Amino acid sequence: MLSRIFGRHYSVNLQTRLILGFFIATAMTGLIATIVGIRTINKNTISEVQGRVQQDLNAAGLIYDYTLERLANRVQFSAECAHLQDAIKRRDTHSMEAMNTLIRSICQPREAYGLDSIDMLTVLDADGIVIYRAFNQGYSGDDMSDRPIIRKCLAGKSLQLSTELMPVDIIRKENPRLADHVPITVVKTPQSAVIEERELSEGMVLRAAYPVIADDGELLGAIIGGVVLNNNYGIVDIIQKTVYRNEKYQGRDMGYATIFQGGVRISTNVMTGEGSRAVGTIVSKEVYEHVVKEGKDWVDRAFVVNDWYISAYTPIYNSERAIIGMLYTGVLEAKYRDIKSETMWIFLSITFFGTVFAFLISVSLGHGIIKRIRMLKRATEAIAAGDLDYRLAHDEFSGFGMLDEAFDNMTRSLKDRDDRLQEAFKRLTRTERLAALGQMAAGVAHEINNPLGGILLYSNLVMEELPEDHPARSNIEKIIYQTERSKKIVENLLDFARTPPGEQVTCDMNSIIQRALDLVKDQSVFLGVTIETHFAEDIPCVKAECSRLEEVFLNLFFNAADAMEGKGTLTVTTRVSSTNQLVITVADTGKGIARPYLAHIFEPFFTTKEPGHGTGLGLSIAYGILKKHNGIIDVDSEKDRGTTFTITLPVIMGPEDGQARENGEAETI
């Protein structure tokens, strides 16, 4: 296929083709090696990076858990240092105020975003009623026993740690100073998951509940501490510093960490294009569905805010094992993308220089091969000129001895077969002459038949008007006799040129067309014609006179060969239309028919051929045959752009009956 395309548009000598073949083979080998190498490196690199990110996520999880445990330690330390046992028994909130000094001394201000900061600290009695709030001392007496972590702490008299979602208004009751930190406005992006809230109505809080127990084991109450993660960057920055050591690539941080509330970033060091933290942006829908909805870890390439990262996500659970968020770590993909690009260029350079080296070797080898091929070319030219006694000089060192011997054997065979070909050509010529005679007979018969009918009609009229003893009556009888004799000759010619009408039977159109092609493909006018067939399988049958339809296709094939002047492509296609009709197209690449002539080509005696090359009756006969079979024939053509005839015939069975036809349930001709 490629050689046909290149041969049609480019004239390339044999030496160039041979060298080009060596070059393409070498280049393709190098290219395949490069692609395989790059894919292998890319796969291994991505696998290594994903493994690293998974390890980074595990380290981030440890830091997250450490922060939660550190909160528990601070809460426990606050409870023991403030002597809460006596204060809770006496409900002495005044003595609990000493805990405020302790909190301020051990806690950094929230603006510092340290791991030691505590955003809320609340003292409860054994029934879960608030006795004292360190950050909102004027609000107490409300019942918090319905909170899962508090309920478990009081019921089990044990330390409870968890990450919880708390409504914004409750967080503000615990610490009014958090009013400007907790609310986060959701920023939707094209890759984001669908979340309805425009502003989060809850905050994510690390909570630790520590029971206060008397010396005799009696439960006196509990102290509850909490750290709000919304807009708190302490954990993510510690993760970045600890895991990635603030590594940078092209001026950008190499690694990032993020805490998600649901699918919304509430604490992150991923930056937006404006240089601010991407708080409020939303994770992609794919990640959200996989991690939050299905509860699975996700490690893969992901688009985060404004760039691609090799990312890892893991779910964050509350005390009741419900997924409330995600923990994320990721490394910038740009570094590994550049490594891959650099590796690709290295491979391409190696391939290029290797190809050049192979090309130089191929030129040297090709020169020796071409030298011998040129000798074969001179030998073939001598044989083409008629010298069938030509022999090659054998060269044992060239490695072409076997080819030389085969060439000489071919020459001897050609000489032996030449005589047989001449005899076969004579027989073929006689066959062509008989075929031409048949076409001529049909034309002569149609041309003569009507005049003979007129002569016979008027002779009989004259004969009836003449008296019995009229002297011209004998001549008129001779005219009638000779006219009837001529008419009989015409009928014989028609019988010779066409198949007489027959009974309509079930016909397989693919078989009819193939028989017609088998009849014409060996004719001299088809020797330079390429015949292509595209037959649909299991097409329905038609009810027809098979021989007459075969005559139609023979006529179309010969017309196509004449139009292509023996060179071109004849394409025959069968298919079933949407209206369950059989459609046959016969297309050629000949000189075509001018548009003004298309409306007349089916008229009797109309022809675009030169005088002496057609009677103009073939297409009109084909039209009549198809009309008799309730068929339609259309033509589409333009000058110098070929001609396409489209035949549409009704069918007698649908495509679903094809199996029955194969099993012999329908007659196929």
Where residue 322 sits, what CATH number does that domain have? 3.30.450.20
CATH of the domain at 613: 3.30.565.10
Domain stops at, among 311, 336, 361: 336
| Residue at 21 is within a domain | no
The CB density around residue 250, as the number of other CB atoms within 10 Å, is 9
Q: Which two tokens stand for residue 367?
A: 């020169």
The domain boundary residue, chosen from 476, 498, 520: 498
**Domain match, 657 and 551 both:** yes
Residue 191 lies in a domain: no
Domain holding 460, by residue range, is 415-498
List, as one string, the DSSP characters of 484-503. Answer: HHHHHHHHHHHHHHSPPP--
Q: Which tokens belong to 413?
A: 């065979």
Q: Are residue 423 and residue 562 in the same domain, yes or no?
A: no
The reply to whether 214 falls in a domain is no
**pLDDT (0 to 100) of residue 400:** 64
CA atoms in the 13 A half-sphere facing the CB of 285: 8
Residues 253, 316, single domain; the answer is yes
The predicted structure's pLDDT at residue 261: 92
The residues, any chain, with a CB within 8 Å of residue 385's CB and separated by 6 or more, are: none
Reported pTM: 0.50
> How far apart, in Å, do the first and last CA atoms of the chain sit?
36
Same domain, 443 and 574: no
In 3D space, the residue among 331, 270, 269 whose CA is nearest the CA of residue 301 turns out to be: 331
- Same-domain check for residues 510 and 590: yes
391: helix, strand or coil: coil
On whether both 556 and 640 belong to a single domain, the answer is yes
CATH number for the domain including 447? Answer: 1.10.287.130
| Residue 53 belongs to a domain | no
Residue 175 maps to a domain? no
C-alpha closest to that of 235 among 269, 272, 278, 283:
269
**Measured between alpha carbons, how far is 656 from 356 in angstroms, rounded to an integer?**
60
Regarding whether 596 and 511 lie in a shared domain, the answer is yes
Q: Does 488 share its domain with 445?
A: yes
Same domain, 512 and 648: yes
Helix, strand, coil abundance in the chain, percent, nearest 5: 50, 20, 30
Residue 386 and residue 12: Cα distance in Å, rounded?
Answer: 27
**Is residue 472 one of the residues assigned to a domain?**
yes
Residues 469 and 531 grouped into a single domain = no
How many separate domains does the chain show?
Answer: 3
Q: Which residues contact 474 (CB under 8 A, 6 or more apart)?
A: none
Question: Would 540 be classed as within a structural domain?
Answer: yes
Is the domain of 635 the same as that of 512?
yes
The ranges of the chain with pLDDT < 70 are 1-15, 41, 82, 98-116, 187-198, 305, 393-401, 419-446, 488-502, 603-606, 609-618, 653-669
Are both 518 and 649 inside the same structural domain? yes
Angle (deg, nearest 10), helices 14-81 and 98-106 = 150
Residue 445 lies in a domain: yes
Read off φ and ψ for residue 477, nearest 5 degrees.
-65, -40
Residue that terminates a domain, selected from 458, 483, 498: 498
